[in-house]
């Protein structure tokens, strides 16, 4: 098959949305329906890998659709940062789909068709966000993502799920309507363009107060980045089925948030302007506070998914800090952390789901001694925890390393201390779980009788992501090169 790269770019956005129609059509035959999903995943992954090859060879891939408002076009462009995000999302979508087939079937969830449809549309939106060439396009897909994930959060249909859904939609929609949209329109008004440009779109003589306010609006408006005090939606979204939490609330949605933050910092403001804005320092401390506080809250959670959710809030703060540091190491760290955290956190969620399906346990206090019955799951949990904490032999090491370098370059000593303390906190709230599972201290076999490992598809999925964590430690080169290319002119000097 000979498809041009530009076509692939468009198809990677349209295909998942078309697949949603296919899933509706085949909804009555589960096997066929899952077949449609899996094949879409494969084709999508094929596209993104090809696009990656394309920009590696220095090709510029972009597509313009039509103008929605005068001067505001739907247009797409492949650049390294978006490429990282798209690769992660499409790869992990495939894995999650495999996982969720095992999970949803053994859990006998209802409304599975709606689940797969919304999932598909969400992935299409993620691709749109990843490849958006201007803020306007990004905003449109950002909102589509919010709306398409809402039914996933309320999937269970219980009162609790509805409440979670209300918080989810309430925070995400209100921040995006009130702050994000205002920030976009202000940018359009001040700069006259919304295109992502290397070095930013603002004039060098722009009023720094105005730009500073706009930056605050952006950071608050991108609620998906879960900076405190706009983080409540993420724990609330944990009522969703585990595959949703895994892909959307460890990867797609939250990463769409920090990705947008990064994109705005690098391509709307530009790191030169960013470093002189009066509000940057304030936002850095806010993100730092978010990192620390969320870690502290995480320690107090007994529900495993809630603990992971707060851990995510804290880790997202890292990415925001990296973006706001306005140094090249910071940007590299942030973009690498998007990938590292994605693999680590999705593994942890897969494990949480596996424990729920196999042992029907969601409370950490009940997981003592579970290592004996579910050794693979718990081993995976251990390795993924290492990645989140940032110690070898897991990929998270590298991004933390660059982030610390970034704080040093920017001479942000307080933030450096925050990062260190946070790592310690990470150890304190993650490692005891696998540790107690393997070394319960007391005899617990009688409680855990009859528990086996999770279904095979789920197990395969979590093994793959665990392996990825390790591979990213040993072989981070391609990711690093992509991350480094973000600050050079996109698509041109990359790889030479």
Partner 1 sequence: MLAHLPILQVIVPMMAAPLCLFLTRPRLVWLFALIVSGLAFLISCILLQQVMTSGAIIYELGGWDAPWGIEYRIDQLSAFLLLIISAVSTVVLFAAHTSIQKEIPVDRHTLFYILYLLSLAGMLGIVATGDAFNVFVFLEISSLSAYALIALGKDRRALWAAYQYLIMGTIGATFILIGIGLIYQMTGTLNMNDLSMRLPEVAHTRTVFTAFAFIIVGVCLKLALFPLHLWLPNAYAYAPSIITAFLAATATKVAIYLLIRFTFSVFGLSFSFTTLPLQILFVVLGLSGIFAASTAAIYQKNVKHLFAYSSIAQIGYMIVGFSVSTTTGLMATLLHLFNHALMKSALFLALAAVMYRIGGVQLSQFQGLGRQMPLTMAAIVIGGLSLIGVPLTVGFVSKWYLILAVIENGWWPVAVLILLGSLLAVVYVWRIVETAYFKPPLAGSEAIKEAPLSFLVPIWVLVIANIYFGIDTRLSIQVTQVAAQSLFGVGPP
Please tell me whether residue 432 binds partner 1 under the rule CB under 8 A.
no
Nearer to partner 1 by Cβ, of 169 and 264: the residue is 169
CA distance 35 to 208: 53
Considering the complex, what minimum distance in angstroms separates the CB of residue 147 from partner 1?
7
Please give the full DSSP string across 234-284, using - where no structure is assigned: HHHGGGS-HHHHHHIIIIIHHHHHHHHHHHIIIIII-HHHHHH-TTHHHHH
Nearer to partner 1 by Cβ, of 143 and 366: the residue is 143
Considering the complex, what minimum distance in angstroms separates the CB of residue 139 from partner 1?
6
Contact 241/109 with Cβ under 8 angstroms?
yes
Query: Residue for token digits 């900076």?
Result: 227
Give φ, ψ of 200 to 5 degrees: 95, 170
In angstroms, the Cα distances linking 376 to 39, 185, 249 are 28, 50, 23
Q: Segment 389-428, which members bind partner 1 (CB under 8 A)?
A: none
The partner residues of 132 in beta bridges, in order of sequence, read 76
Contact 423/394 with Cβ under 8 angstroms?
no
Per-residue mark of binding to partner 1, 29-68 (x: CB under 8 A): -------------------------------------xxx
Considering the complex, what minimum distance in angstroms separates the CB of residue 215 from partner 1?
16
Considering the complex, what minimum distance in angstroms separates the CB of residue 27 from partner 1?
13
Cα angle 455-465-438, degrees, rounded to a multiple of 5 = 65
Nearer to partner 1 by Cβ, of 170 and 432: the residue is 170
Considering the complex, what minimum distance in angstroms separates the CB of residue 319 from partner 1?
25
Nearer to partner 1 by Cβ, of 32 and 173: the residue is 173
In angstroms, the Cα distances linking 465 to 96, 183, 315, 344, 399 are 10, 37, 18, 8, 17
Query: Residue for token digits 């952390």?
Result: 337
Considering the complex, what minimum distance in angstroms separates the CB of residue 176 from partner 1?
10
Please tell me whether residue 463 binds partner 1 under the rule CB under 8 A.
no
Please tell me whether residue 144 binds partner 1 under the rule CB under 8 A.
yes
Contact 318/403 with Cβ under 8 angstroms?
yes
Nearer to partner 1 by Cβ, of 139 and 318: the residue is 139
Considering the complex, what minimum distance in angstroms separates the CB of residue 63 from partner 1?
16
Nearer to partner 1 by Cβ, of 21 and 185: the residue is 185
Altogether, the residues listed in the chain come to a count of 496
Considering the complex, what minimum distance in angstroms separates the CB of residue 212 from partner 1?
14
Considering the complex, what minimum distance in angstroms separates the CB of residue 138 from partner 1?
10
Nearer to partner 1 by Cβ, of 159 and 411: the residue is 159
Nearer to partner 1 by Cβ, of 42 and 68: the residue is 68
Considering the complex, what minimum distance in angstroms separates the CB of residue 477 from partner 1?
38
Would you give the DSSP letter of residue 198? Answer: T
Residues with Cβ within 8 Å of residue 428, at least 6 apart in sequence: 299
The binder of partner 1 chosen from 140, 206, 408, 428 (CB under 8 A): 140
Please tell me whether residue 1 binds partner 1 under the rule CB under 8 A.
no
Contact 121/375 with Cβ under 8 angstroms?
no
CA distance 399 to 310: 20
Please tell me whether residue 70 binds partner 1 under the rule CB under 8 A.
yes
Query: Residue for token digits 């095979």?
Result: 456
Per-residue mark of binding to partner 1, 153-192 (x: CB under 8 A): -x--x---xx--xx--xx--xx--xx--xx--xx-xx---
Query: Residue for token digits 């990677």?
Result: 12
Give φ, ψ of 490 to 5 degrees: -60, 135
Nearer to partner 1 by Cβ, of 1 and 69: the residue is 69
The binder of partner 1 chosen from 11, 43, 49, 147 (CB under 8 A): 147
Considering the complex, what minimum distance in angstroms separates the CB of residue 173 from partner 1?
6
The binder of partner 1 chosen from 52, 93, 116, 139 (CB under 8 A): 139
477 burial via Cβ count (<10 Å: 0-12, 13-18, 19+): exposed
The half-sphere exposure of 273 on its side-chain side, counting CA atoms within 13 A, is: 24
Nearer to partner 1 by Cβ, of 154 and 422: the residue is 154
Query: Residue for token digits 């992660």?
Result: 88
Count residues near partner 1 (CB under 8 A): 29
Site residues (vs partner 1, CB under 8 A): 66-70, 139-140, 143-144, 147, 151, 154, 157, 161-162, 165-166, 169-170, 173-174, 177-178, 181-182, 185-186, 188-189
């Amino acid at each position: 098959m000979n498809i041009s790269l530009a076509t692939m770019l468009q198809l990677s956005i349209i295909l998942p949305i078309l697949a949603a129609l296919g899933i509706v059509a085949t909804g009555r035959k589960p096997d066929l329906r899952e077949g449609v999903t899996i094949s879409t995943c494969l084709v999508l992954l094929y596209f993104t890998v090809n696009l990656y090859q394309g920009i590696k060879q220095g090709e510029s891939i972009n597509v313009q659709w039509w103008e929605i408002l005068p001067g505001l076009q739907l247009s797409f462009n492949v650049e390294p940062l978006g490429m990282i995000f798209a690769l992660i999302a499409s790869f992990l979508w495939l894995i999650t789909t495999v996982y969720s087939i095992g999970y949803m079937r053994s859990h006998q969830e209802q409304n599975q068709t709606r689940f797969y449809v919304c999932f598909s549309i969400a992935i299409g939106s993620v691709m749109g966000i990843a490849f958006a060439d201007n803020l306007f396009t990004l905003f449109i897909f950002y909102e589509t993502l919010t709306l398409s994930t809402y039914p996933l959060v309320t999937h269970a249909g219980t009162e609790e799920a509805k409440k979670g859904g209300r918080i989810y939609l309430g925070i995400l929609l209100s921040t995006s309507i009130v702050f994000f949209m205002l920030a976009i329109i202000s940018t359009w008004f001040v700069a006259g363009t919304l295109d992502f440009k290397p070095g930013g779109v603002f004039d060098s003589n722009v009023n720094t107060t105005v730009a500073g306010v706009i930056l605050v609006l952006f950071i608050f408006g991108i609620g998906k980045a879960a900076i405190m005090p706009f983080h409540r939606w993420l724990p609330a979204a944990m009522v969703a089925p585990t595959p949703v939490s895994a892909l959307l609330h460890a990867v797609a949605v939250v990463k769409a948030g920090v990705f947008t933050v990064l994109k705005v910092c690098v391509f709307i403001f530009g790191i030169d302007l960013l470093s002189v804005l009066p509000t940057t320092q304030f936002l850095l401390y806010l993100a730092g506070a978010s990192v620390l506080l969320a870690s502290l809250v995480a320690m107090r959670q007994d529900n495993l998914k809630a603990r992971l959710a707060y851990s995510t809030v804290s880790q997202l703060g890292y990415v925001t800090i990296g973006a706001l540091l306005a140094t090249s190491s910071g940007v590299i760290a942030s973009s690498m952390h998007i990938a590292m955290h994605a693999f680590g956190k999705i593994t942890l969620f897969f494990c949480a789901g596996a424990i729920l399906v196999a042992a029907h346990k969601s409370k950490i206090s009940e997981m003592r001694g579970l290592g004996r019955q579910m050794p693979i799951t718990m081993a995976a949990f251990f390795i993924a925890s290492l990645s989140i904490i940032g110690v070898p032999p897991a990929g998270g090491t590298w991004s933390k390393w660059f982030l610390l370098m970034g704080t040093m370059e920017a001479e942000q000593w307080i933030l450096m201390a925050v990062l260190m303390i946070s790592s310690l906190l990470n150890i304190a709230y993650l490692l005891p779980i696998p540790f107690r599972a393997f070394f319960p201290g007391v005899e617990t076999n009688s409680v855990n009788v009859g528990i086996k490992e999770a279904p095979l598809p789920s197990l395969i999925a979590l093994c793959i992501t665990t392996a990825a964590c390790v591979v990213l430690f040993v072989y981070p080169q391609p990711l690093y090169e992509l991350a480094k290319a973000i600050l050079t002119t996109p698509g041109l000097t990359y790889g030479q």
